[in-house]
Amino acid sequence: MKKRSVILLALALTLSFAACGQGKTPSSSVMPESAPASSGTAEPASAEPALSEAPAPAGPVFTIPTDDVEVRVAALKGPTAIGMVKLMEEADGEDLSNYKFTMAGAPDEIVGKIIQGEFDIAAVPTNLAATLYNKTEGKVKLAALNTMGILYVVENGDTIQSIADLAGKTVYSTGKGSVPEFALNYILAQNDILGEVTVEYKSEHTELANLLAAGQADLAVLPQPFVTTVTMQNPDIRVALDLTKEWDAVSGGAGGLTMGCIVIQQQFIEEHPEAVKAFLENYRASVEFVTDPANLDAAAELVVARGIIPKAPIAKAAIPECSIVFKTGEEMKTIASGFYQVLFDADPQSVGGKLPDENLYFLG
């Protein structure tokens, strides 16, 4: 009996120490891959699973701004906002409550407010950054690229196998005055069919996606995640052409097809450099969270919660296809400057009438 009591006491002390060790571990820490070897007495089988379960992935580490300033951020309901959703969630809490996010359905809803200085930071189409820089005489800077090529021609049918097949067709599109229009026109012009294709523009991606899903449009240019949305809702719709590949084929690698970016007011950069630094660090952390396959379920739920994509299964399928990136510094400058040169050569108005100079780029 005495021997049995000693064994039970040793077991109780072992479990007690294990529980204390777990209680001191921060929620974001990664547990050891294997537990220390047992010291003698065999534990009941029921005690093992709690110690050997794999930990949940660690969440991103966000930087709390050192200066107490409200940061007004605008984003569009699409890929340019998907990379921000984790940061948006954090902004609902106390530590990052200085971030105030505004979501818009189309660029023209926020352009005027950016020019008037009502937003400090905005996620916009990449060509719009150059236009804003020219319109404001350098008061808006390009700070990061957040989305690469995501444009596709989708068809309810099977007649489009190449760009040449678009001749004589009516194509619906969105993004008039931004990257979709200028990229499509450039590709059509380089293939000598610009005047042979009729393009009808809709104001929002969601509007066009709904028309396609309902079978009220047969041929359209759409970006992700709306491509995934319509192909999952209507199995008769297929991806006919990848416009990123078509762009690369005719541009000769002069500049990557970049869809979205982050712009920041020059005055805000000068007056609140620490807030700018903290935002870019936090935005990078948000992008890394969203693009990590281990976080796909959580990211999909956040995207749905913000009204960017209607359902989690669609969001899970679309997020990996959205080419979400975070490129800054010289890498950003190299990609963007080549992109702007291609657009300018094709249509100067696509970048605001003149090629932006090097002061456009905020390199940190």
- Whether domain 71-148+258-360 has CATH 3.40.190.10: yes
The region of weakest confidence among 3-17, 177-191, 206-220, 325-339 is 3-17
Burial-class residue 266 by CB neighbours within 10 Å (0-12, 13-18, 19+).
Answer: middle
**pLDDT tens, 69-124?**
999 999 998 888 999 999 999 999 888 999 999 999 888 899 999 999 999 999 99
Query: Average pLDDT for residues 7-24, to the nearest whole number?
Result: 37
In angstroms, the CA 309 to CA 233 distance is 13
Residue 224 · residue 95 · CB < 8 Å = no
Strand-strand pairing, 71-76 and 324-327: unpaired
Question: Which helix (H) or strand (E) element contains residue 343?
Answer: helix 329-346
Closest by CA to 147, choosing from 266, 282, 291, is 291
Length of the chain: 364
Beta carbons within 8 Å of 48's beta carbon, 6+ residues apart: none
In angstroms, the CA 153 to CA 168 distance is 15
Q: CATH number of the domain at 151-251, please?
A: 3.40.190.10
Lookup result for tokens 């106390």: 94
The region of weakest confidence among 145-149, 229-233, 301-305 is 229-233
In angstroms, the CA 167 to CA 144 distance is 36
Structure tokens at 329: 């510094």
CA Rg value for the chain = 25
- Say yes or no to pLDDT of 159 above 60: yes
In angstroms, the CA 349 to CA 276 distance is 30
Percent of all residues in the chain with a pLDDT value above 90, rounded to a whole number: 65
Phi-psi region of 210 (alpha: psi -120 to 50; beta: other; left: phi over 0): alpha
Q: Give Cα 184 to chain centroid, integer Å.
A: 22
**pLDDT tens, 265-281?**
999 999 999 999 999 99
Q: Tell me the average pLDDT of the chain.
A: 84
Q: Where are the beta strands (DSSP E) in 204-341?
A: 219-223, 237-242, 260-265, 324-327
In angstroms, the CA 305 to CA 312 distance is 9
- Say yes or no to pLDDT of 65 above 60: yes
Percent of all residues in the chain with a pLDDT value above 70, rounded to a whole number: 83
pLDDT of residue 58: 57
The pTM assigned to this predicted structure is: 0.77
- Say yes or no to pLDDT of 224 above 80: yes
**pLDDT tens, 115-152?**
999 999 999 999 999 999 999 999 999 999 999 999 99
- Say yes or no to pLDDT of 8 above 50: no
Residues of the chain with CATH 3.40.190.10: 71-148+258-360, 151-251
Query: Average pLDDT for residues 191-199, to the nearest whole number?
Result: 96
